[in-house]
């Protein structure tokens, strides 16, 4: 059977939305995408048991009270229902040791769910000069480089220590808790990838490989292939 991949969704004005690029990237490499609700209820355990992997998609900002801070001026729109649902799903999937791939916001909520923290707004909270992390270029265009840590899961997939990524964010992971490690950074020091040291495939990427897959970017293709393969086992 083909692996079933649960895909998190955005929630705005009682409407669930998911960019189709996420669905295409899963389907292209042999997965079956299943859009998930944004409601915490008794079915969390049932959903986690049913799916073979979890894709945490991009979207709006994350409630800073989840990591012990109050909202700063640079914080954008938050969706408490989505935060609560995704955290519950992440924790259950980790308990079951099922694969998780977090993209952009997905990498941030993954880190938050395991006890990490993040910048609410890198442009106002970091004083040093930053790269353009919200690029003015097509979504399928790689705009800046990331440096990958040797020996990491990401390095094993990419088979290189440097490659280009696209970038559409103003929040970013900061403190990464025990049991997780930073596996890639940009040249300005922003955390670009995290991964679990205790699970077979749990990874968060600050960029959007689902858009780069559209142009057959080799690294993005390798990432999705590795994720779907992990979900198949």
User: What amino acid positions are annotated as catalytic residues?
Assistant: 104, 208, 210
CA distances from 203 to 64, 124, 156 (A): 21, 27, 13
Nearest to 135 by CA among 206, 55, 216, 221: 206
Scanning the structure block, which residue is given the tokens 């970017």? 217
- Please tell me the number of Cα atoms within 13 Å of 150 on its side-chain side: 0
Q: Are strands 15-17 and 172-173 parallel, antiparallel or unpaired?
A: unpaired
Q: State whether residue 195 is helix, strand or coil.
A: strand
Is residue 111 classed exposed, middle or buried when 0-12, 13-18 and 19+ CB atoms within 10 A define those classes? buried
DSSP label at residue 66: G
């Amino acid at each position: 059977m083909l692996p079933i991949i649960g895909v998190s969704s955005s929630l705005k004005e009682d409407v669930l939305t998911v960019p189709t690029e996420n669905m295409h990237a899963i389907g292209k490499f042999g997965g079956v995408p299943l859009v998930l609700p944004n409601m915490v209820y008794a079915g969390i355990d049932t959903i986690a048991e049913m799916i073979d992997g979890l894709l945490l998609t991009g979207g709006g900002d994350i409630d800073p009270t989840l990591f012990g801070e109050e909202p700063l001026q640079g914080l954008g729109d938050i969706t408490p229902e989505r935060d609560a649902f995704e955290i519950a799903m992440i924790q259950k999937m980790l308990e079951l040791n099922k694969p998780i791939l977090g993209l952009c916001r997905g990498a941030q909520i993954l880190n938050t769910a395991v006890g990490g923290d993040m910048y609410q707004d890198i442009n106002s909270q970091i004083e040093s000069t930053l790269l353009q992390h919200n690029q003015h270029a097509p979504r399928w265009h790689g705009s800046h480089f990331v440096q990958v840590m040797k020996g990491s899961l990401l390095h094993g997939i990419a088979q290189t220590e440097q490659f280009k990524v696209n970038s559409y964010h103003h929040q970013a992971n900061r403190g990464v808790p025990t049991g997780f490690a930073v596996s890639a950074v940009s040249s300005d020091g922003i955390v670009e990838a995290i991964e679990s040291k205790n699970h077979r495939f749990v990874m968060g990427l600050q960029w959007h490989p689902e858009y780069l897959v559209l142009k057959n970017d080799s690294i993005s293709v390798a990432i999705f292939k590795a994720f779907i393969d992990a979900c198949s086992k």
